[in-house]
Amino acid sequence: MGNSPSADSSGSYRRHGPQFTDRIVAEPSGETEWTVEPGRYRLVVSLACPWAHRSLIVRRLMGLEDAISLAIVDPLQDDRSWRFSLDEDGVDPVLRQRHLEEAYLARDPEHGTDNGVSVPALVEESTGRLVTNDFPHITVDLGIEWAKYQRPGAPTLYPPELRAEIDAVNEGVFHDVNNGVYKAGFATRQSRYEEAYTALFARLDELDERLADQRYLVGDHITEADIRLFTTLVRFDAVYHGHFKCNRQKLAEFEHLWPYARDLYQTPGFGDTVDFDHIKRHYYQVHTSINPTQIVPLGPEPAAWLEPHRREDLGGSPFGPDGTPPAPLDGPLRPLPPLDM
Which pLDDT tens digit goes with each residue over 301-312? 999 999 999 999
**Of 114, 149, 184, which residue constitutes the final position of a domain?**
149
**∠ at Cα 75 (72, 80), nearest 5°?**
90
CATH of the domain at 85: 3.40.30.10
The set of catalytic residues is 49, 182
Note whether 172 and 143 are same-domain residues.
no
In a domain, 13, yes or no: no
Note whether 59 and 107 are same-domain residues.
yes
Alpha-carbon distance of 49 to 39, in angstroms, equals 24
In a domain, 296, yes or no: yes
How many domains does one find in the chain? 2
**∠ at Cα 272 (239, 307), nearest 5°?**
75
Range of the domain at 65: 23-149
In a domain, 159, yes or no: no
Note whether 45 and 176 are same-domain residues.
no
Note whether 228 and 283 are same-domain residues.
yes
What pLDDT shows up at residue 163? 98
Own/partner pairs, 34-37, CB within 8 angstroms, 24+ separation? 34/124, 34/131, 34/132, 36/145, 36/146, 36/148, 36/149
What pLDDT shows up at residue 5? 65
The DSSP element (H or E) to which 43 belongs, if any, is: strand 41-45
In a domain, 54, yes or no: yes
CATH of the domain at 280: 1.20.1050.10
Q: Kindly give the confidence (pLDDT) of every residue in the chain, 341 residues in length, as a single tens digit, with 9 standing for 90 and above.
A: 555 566 666 667 766 778 899 999 999 998 999 999 999 999 999 999 999 999 999 999 999 999 999 999 999 999 999 999 999 999 999 999 999 999 999 999 988 777 889 999 999 999 999 999 999 999 999 999 999 999 999 999 999 999 999 999 999 999 999 999 999 999 999 999 999 999 999 999 999 999 999 999 999 999 999 999 999 999 999 999 999 999 999 999 999 999 999 999 999 999 999 999 999 999 999 999 999 999 999 999 999 999 999 999 999 999 999 999 999 998 889 889 888 75
Note whether 215 and 119 are same-domain residues.
no
Cβ(42)–Cβ(156) below 8 Å:
no
Instruction: Report CA torsion sign: 246, 251, 254, 256.
Output: positive
What pLDDT shows up at residue 1? 59
DSSP tag of 122: E
Note whether 303 and 172 are same-domain residues.
yes
pTM of the model: 0.95
Alpha-carbon distance of 65 to 333, in angstroms, equals 12
User: DSSP states of 155-169 as a string?
Assistant: --SS-GGGHHHHHHH
Alpha-carbon distance of 44 to 68, in angstroms, equals 10
Note whether 190 and 132 are same-domain residues.
no
